[in-house]
Structure 1
């Protein structure tokens, strides 16, 4: 491995260690952090590519944050980037959860910890809304009636009809594949 690739992998490890240590609230919370460091500061890929990676990370098994760090690491430095990114991404939650498990009684009864967690929930909600708006803007740029209908359709299916998210994802994937096939047939035919 070249010196430049080693330097990139070390950066991937440290930035994912940092992101893993300071992002609480679930997988989509890492997207703004990855956008800040990978897209805006380092220009390693575009925001559209990041949102596509986030969609893939959401639809694959496992933790979204780790999946997204693996995809970003692969895009940046190949397999060594995946290993460095994943290692950096899993160490902080492992350490934090081990500490919380060790002192569960003290954490569970602390009003200060409860207040901090409630405050973090508000921040997490704002970050999730920001990601949803970014994804919606990307969908609107595609100028596709199917994609425009899919977003509110998925929302209604989830919140009104309480369909399982796996069913919603499967239907969206099938509809998207069908849409792509029809577009290809029109071009060829």
Structure 2
């Protein structure tokens, strides 16, 4: 067990969780910048795969992402350390806000701050979407591009549940993988 890696993983996840406002999708960009670009612990394609797993599992994407990346980097202890580091900041912040809720709920400055943060969060989510789409397009394979476009269309234009889209995409991935396996034989 590499204690330095576990400590670095804890500090990194604590930092990411502490500065991720606006929902789990915001953390994807921060995770990519930290784990892929800065620390070079994983490659971009692998990051996309791990995030796909995290998105497909039930629960908060920030915690799911921390679990899969922590496990990939340091096994079960990495996953546990990552979970702990990821839940500490929201737990502390939400406990604080809950305790002072009556003061915050009618505070104009607090309301303005949240309004401004919503605009920033929207931009970050758009950036995550763009980065993931570019990653899929860079693979230069036609089926993932078609699946991505169809998933977008059926989700946003035809309002089909995301659950059905994720399950369908998973089935398409299994079929594609099996076909590639059989072709190689």
Structure 1 outlier segments of 4+, above 6 Å: none
Q: Which of 10, 19, 34 is the matching residue for 2:31?
A: 34
Q: Which of 149, 153, 164 is the matching residue for 2:150?
A: 153
Structure 1 residue runs of 5 or longer lacking an equivalent are none
Q: Which of 43, 57, 68 is the matching residue for 1:60?
A: 57
SS in 2 for 1:131: helix
Q: Relative to 1, partners in 2 of residues 1:109 and 1:66: Cα closer, same or farther, differing over 3 Å? A: same
1:44 paired with 2:44, answer no
Aligned to 1:6: 3
**CA positional deviation for 1:180:** 2.4
1:187 and 1:164 map into 2 onto residues whose CA distance is 35
**CA positional deviation for 1:57:** 0.6
Superposition RMSD in Å: 1.6
1:35 and 1:10 map into 2 onto residues whose CA distance is 19
2:85 and 2:150 map into 1 onto residues whose CA distance is 37
Query: What is the number of equivalent residue pairs in this alignment?
Result: 185
Q: Which of 103, 113, 118 is the matching residue for 2:115?
A: 118
Aligned to 1:16: 13
1:123-142 equivalence runs, <5 A: 123-142=120-139
SS in 1 for 2:85: helix
2:177 and 2:46 map into 1 onto residues whose CA distance is 19
2:179 and 2:149 map into 1 onto residues whose CA distance is 22
Structure 2 residue runs of 5 or longer lacking an equivalent are none
Offset from partner CA, 1:159-182 (integer Å, 9 cap, x none): 222111111101111122222223
2:46 and 2:141 map into 1 onto residues whose CA distance is 19
Offset from partner CA, 1:115-170 (integer Å, 9 cap, x none): 11121112112221222122112211333332212222112211222111111101
1:86 and 1:94 map into 2 onto residues whose CA distance is 12
Q: TM-score, normalised on structure 2? A: 0.92
Offset from partner CA, 1:23-43 (integer Å, 9 cap, x none): 111112112222222222221
